[in-house]
């Protein structure tokens, strides 16, 4: 499963890919490769087709894709993109994550506490404005200037209505272009249907990133406006047949990030100083959660969301590390860099124009190596279970929002700009369960890593731990804090700086205590690593454009992209892997033991099902993490599939696309219709899918 996990290698996401070959490319809608599409598939998209694609496609703000599949706001995405909602809605003995959820009638559709959908409204080129603001600036000055211009552009775009609109300035082509993306927000998103975890993720971690595959990795949401189903005339009509082998397919979604355009020296530093240590960190956490979950059913449930995310991420890391260790790939990258570098230095004019961004890059990487561990622990929050649990994240957000709201928009940390506040507020005030035992475990482990990483003699470590052990401090914090209560959080949000200052909540106190050091390391990192890296990358990207012409598509940036391709298998160790699996194969693969255990619903339904129904299929579309939940559509703009994974060879796609064996994995729409109707006996939903409206 390729859901974006919150571990993006921030600061390394730069763009500018080489010229596209085969079915390569994640294209922006305003710059589609129409010639290639026509040449290879005899297809040229009409304006109407492109409009449909843009408005039917959705971004899940937390890190997935989705799409409207009826005129009444019905949204199709992956089960694994609905994990948080399913966990959060489960209370007491209900376990929607494991058992699935079926809304028999519309009134049964419960609100997901913090799902936000973004529908792309427009893209505006703002390259001139951004360049004007940053040209000639570097370090802290550049960070400040960028923040100010981004805020200005975004505020004017949102135009005072942040509940409806969300605007983001996006860096494309590695600084070759900047664009303002304007989205319509949907924050009232309700759950319509999700199958059991055991069929959504049949085969579990062993089958993840593998094929043949037999997963019904789907969930249906519904967008509401004013407490009524949203009116969504632009949607993908549902094909009850699915695609055929060889069919032209498009994937429309939000690939998270790729690093195809950045120099090898940056990739090498990423591998050695961030990826490998992080791989160890996450592996350790994975082992901890394994054991935590083995203590009982409650603990299994508490840990499962993070555990799935970790297993997935670790598999991705394995794929990345393999590609980054591949000698052919490395040599090719090095050669490309060397040739560009040579070209840049070949004349006095070019030397004057470009300077030596390569040396700047090297220096920035050295600084990153020095600063990164402290950054991760403090500002990244890893030392306090940030991103792995909730309580510290709440405290940090509340402390920061109170301090940031008082500043001019352009001087705030980007997360707290006016345009972003509704999403932040939704997260802070949402009624999601908090598990004290889990929180304490995560925090205790985090604090131990904090001391281990910075060293017992570090003054901040001394200040935080004093003479307490990580276990004792975690116990003190979790038992003492009231932040598990959404009402308390709301009070603090509303109370602002005064309330934060007056609070004697120990978790708030911790967040207050470390905030100055956190901000200090963040600033150092931004000024000495991010800004010079951005600047150097921009210079290198511009030189590349000067030398090779505008390259074909920008690296992925979790914004809307279209990829084209076809339904096609591949060869594995000399043997062909056919592109489709079918229901009969699912029943053959089932063992009765987790993760190959079928839910009862499927066992019961076997005789009623058409076992020749195609279940999953693969295409050579170029996708990446973040594309989870993307629709696969055909020439007519009909949904024929639902992306939920890539094969194991697709993992290197972050760095390079190899059309010979890089495959996207999708659920067939034929399987979805058959299952909704015959396994789950939900004619209401099946009819809406096939008819296109309620």
Residues at the site binding its own copies, with contacts judged by CB under 8 A: 203, 205-207, 210, 268, 272-273, 276-277, 279-281, 283-292, 294-295, 314, 318, 321, 325, 441, 444-445, 448, 451-452, 455-456, 467-469, 471-472, 591-594, 596
Q: Which is nearer to its own copies, 285 or 667 (CB)?
A: 285
DSSP type of residue 4: P
Query: Which of 166, 164, 228, 221 minimizes the C-alpha distance to 189?
Result: 221
Contact (Cβ atoms closer than 8 angstroms) between residue 170 and residue 14: no
Instruction: Tell me which residue of 51, 47, 402 sits closest to 233, measured CA to CA.
Output: 51
In three state form, how does the secondary structure of 287-344 look? HHHHHHHCCCHHHHHHHHHHHHHHHHHHHHHHHHHHHHCCHHHHHHHHHHHHHHHHHH
Q: Which is nearer to its own copies, 231 or 291 (CB)?
A: 291
Of residues 314 and 510, the one with the C-beta less far from its own copies: 314
Q: Find the helix or strand (DSSP H, E) in which 27 lies.
A: none
Q: How far is the CB of 130 from its own copies (least distance, A)?
A: 34
User: What is the C-alpha to C-alpha distance for residues 601 and 346, in angstroms, rounded to an integer?
Assistant: 69
| Residue from 663, 620, 664 nearest 642 by CA | 664
Residue 664 · residue 627 · CB < 8 Å? yes
Nearer to its own copies, 154 or 207 (CB): 207
Q: How far is the CB of 626 from its own copies (least distance, A)?
A: 24
For its own copies, the closer of residues 92 and 206 by Cβ is 206
Q: How far is the CB of 325 from its own copies (least distance, A)?
A: 4
Query: Smaller CB distance to its own copies: residue 402 or 465?
Result: 465
Least spacing, CB of residue 597 vs its own copies, in Å? 9
Which CB, 288 or 424, lies closer to its own copies? Answer: 288
**Residue among 249 and 441 whose Cβ is closer to its own copies:** 441
Compare residues 288 and 340 and give the one whose CB is closer to its own copies.
Answer: 288
Give every CB contact of residue 564 below 8 A, 6+ residues apart in sequence: 23, 25, 33, 37, 40, 41, 43, 248, 249, 250, 621
Residues 657, 202: Cα–Cα separation, whole Å: 27
Smallest separation (angstroms) from its own copies to the CB of 481:
20
Angle of the 506-525 helix axis to the 391-405 helix axis, nearest 10: 70
Cβ neighbors of 263 (< 8 A, separation 6 or more) are 333, 337, 358, 361, 540
Give the whole-angstrom CA distance, residue 624 versus residue 81: 15
Q: How many CB atoms lie within 10 A of CB 127?
A: 15
Assigned token pair, 562:
């279209």
- Which residue number, 120 or 656, has a Cβ lying nearer to its own copies? 656
Residue 282: CB minimum distance to its own copies, A: 8
Element (H, E) at 230: none
Nearer to its own copies, 124 or 453 (CB): 453
Examine residue 84 and say whether the peptide bond preceding it is cis (omega within 30 degrees of 0): no
Through-space distance between the first and last CA atoms of the chain, rounded to whole angstroms: 30
**Closer Cβ to its own copies, 49 or 279, answer by number:** 279
Task: Give the E-state strand segments of 83-235 in sequence order.
Answer: 101-102, 117-125, 165-172, 177-186, 189-194, 219-225, 228-229
The pair phi, psi for residue 316, each rounded to 5°, is -60, -45
Q: Tell me the closest approach of the beta carbon of residue 317 to its own copies, in angstroms.
A: 8
Please, are residues 677 and 248 in contact by the beta-carbon 8 Å criterion?
Answer: no
Under 8 Å between Cβ of 15 and 90: no
Closer of 192 and 199 to its own copies (Cβ) = 199
Phi, psi values for residue 106, rounded to 5°: -60, -35
Residues 201, 85: Cα–Cα separation, whole Å? 16
Q: What is the DSSP letter of 531?
A: H
Minimal distance in Å, beta carbon 288 to its own copies? 4
**Tokens read off for 145:** 């200037």
Residue 129 or 475 having the CB closest to its own copies:
475
- Closest distance of CB 285 from its own copies, Å: 6
Smallest gap, in angstroms, from Cβ of residue 377 to its own copies? 14
Tracing tokens 């290639």 back to the chain, one arrives at: 36
- Partnered with residue 220 across adjacent β-strands are 76, 193
Q: How far is the CB of 496 from its own copies (least distance, A)?
A: 36
Query: Are 89 and 186 in contact, with CB atoms under 8 Å apart?
Result: no
Cβ(665)–Cβ(580) below 8 Å: no
Q: Are strands 237-238 and 638-646 parallel, antiparallel or unpaired?
A: parallel
Closest approach of its own copies to the CB of residue 100, in Å: 21
Nearer to its own copies, 350 or 476 (CB): 476
What the block records as the tokens of 652 is: 């290197």
8 A C-beta contact, residue 374 and residue 524: no
CB of 307 to its own copies, least distance (A): 11
Contact by Cβ (8 Å): 642, 76: yes
User: In this complex, which beta carbon is closest to its own copies, that of residue 140 or of residue 276?
Assistant: 276
What residues pair up with 638 in beta bridges, in sequence order? 237
| Secondary structure of residue 631 in the 3-state scheme | strand
CB atoms within 10 A of CB 68: 27
Q: Closer CB to its own copies, residue 122 or residue 468?
A: 468
């Amino acid at each position: 499963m390729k859901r974006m996990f919150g571990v993006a290698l921030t600061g390394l996401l730069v763009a500018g890919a080489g010229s596209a070959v085969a079915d390569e490319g994640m294209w922006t809608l305003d710059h589609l490769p129409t010639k290639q599409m026509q040449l290879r598939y005899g297809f040229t998209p009409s304006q109407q087709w492109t409009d449909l694609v843009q408005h039917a496609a959705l971004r899940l703000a937390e890190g997935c894709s989705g799409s409207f599949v009826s005129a009444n706001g019905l949204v199709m995405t992956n089960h694994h993109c609905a994990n948080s909602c399913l966990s959060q809605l489960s209370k007491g003995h209900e376990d929607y994550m494991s058992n699935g959820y079926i809304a028999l009638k519309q009134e049964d559709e419960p609100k997901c506490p913090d799902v936000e959908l973004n529908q792309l409204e427009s893209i505006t080129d703002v390259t001139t404005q951004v360049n004007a603001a940053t040209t000639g600036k570097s370090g802290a000055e550049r960070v400040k200037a960028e923040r100010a211009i981004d805020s200005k552009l975004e505020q004017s775009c949102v135009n005072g209505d942040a509940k409806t609109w969300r605007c983001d300035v996006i860096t494309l082509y590695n600084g070759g272009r900047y664009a303002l993306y304007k989205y319509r927000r949907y924050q009232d998103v309700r759950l319509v249907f999700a199958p059991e975890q055991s069929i959504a993720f049949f085969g579990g971690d062993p089958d993840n990133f593998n094929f043949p595959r037999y997963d019904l990795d789907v969930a249906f949401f519904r967008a509401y406006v004013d407490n009524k189903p949203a009116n969504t005339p632009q949607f993908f009509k549902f094909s009850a047949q699915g695609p055929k082998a060889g069919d032209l397919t498009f994937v429309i979604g939000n690939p998270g990030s790729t690093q195809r355009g950045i120099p090898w020296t940056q990739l090498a530093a990423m591998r050695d100083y961030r990826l490998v240590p992080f791989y160890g960190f996450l592996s350790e956490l994975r082992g901890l959660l394994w054991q935590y979950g083995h203590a009982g059913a409650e603990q299994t449930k508490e840990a499962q969301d993070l555990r799935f995310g970790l297993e997935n991420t670790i598999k991705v890391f394995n794929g990345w590390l393999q590609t980054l260790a591949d000698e052919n790939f490395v040599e090719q990258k090095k050669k490309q860099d060397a040739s560009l570098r040579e070209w840049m230095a070949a004349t006095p004019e070019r030397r004057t124009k470009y300077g030596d961004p390569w040396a700047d890059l090297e220096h920035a990487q050295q600084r990153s190596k020095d600063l990164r561990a402290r950054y991760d622990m403090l500002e990244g929050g890893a030392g306090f279970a940030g991103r792995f649990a909730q309580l510290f994240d709440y405290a940090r957000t509340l402390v920061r929002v109170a301090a940031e709201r008082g500043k001019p928009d352009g001087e705030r940390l980007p997360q707290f700009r006016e345009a972003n506040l509704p999403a932040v507020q939704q997260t802070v005030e949402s009624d999601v369960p908090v598990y004290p035992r889990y929180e304490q475990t995560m925090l205790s482990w985090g604090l131990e890593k904090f001391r281990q990483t910075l060293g017992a003699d570090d003054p901040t470590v001394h200040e935080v731990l004093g003479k307490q052990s990580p276990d004792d401090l975690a116990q003190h914090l979790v038992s003492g804090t009231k932040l598990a209560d959404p009402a308390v959080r709301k009070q603090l949000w509303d109370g602002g700086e005064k309330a934060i200052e007056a609070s004697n909540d120990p978790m708030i106190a911790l967040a207050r205590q470390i905030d100055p050091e956190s901000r200090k390391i963040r600033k150092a990192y931004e000024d000495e690593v991010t800004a010079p890296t951005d600047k150097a990358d921009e210079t290198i990207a511009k030189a590349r454009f000067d030398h090779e012409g505008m390259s074909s598509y920008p690296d992925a940036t979790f914004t809307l992209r279209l990829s084209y391709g076809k339904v096609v298998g591949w060869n594995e160790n000399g043997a062909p892997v056919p592109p489709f699996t079918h229901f009969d194969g699912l029943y053959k693969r089932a063992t009765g033991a987790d993760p190959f255990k079928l839910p009862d619903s499927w066992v019961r339904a076997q005789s009623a099902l058409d076992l020749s129904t195609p279940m999953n299929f693969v295409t050579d579309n170029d996708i990446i993490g973040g594309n989870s939940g993307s629709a696969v559509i055909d020439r007519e703009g009909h949904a024929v599939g639902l992306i939920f994974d890539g094969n194991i060879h697709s993992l290197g796609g972050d760095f390079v696309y190899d059309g010979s064996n890089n495959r996207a994995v999708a659920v067939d729409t034929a399987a979805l219709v058959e299952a909704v109707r015959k396994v789950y006996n939900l004619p209401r939903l099946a009819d809406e899918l096939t008819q296109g409206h309620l």
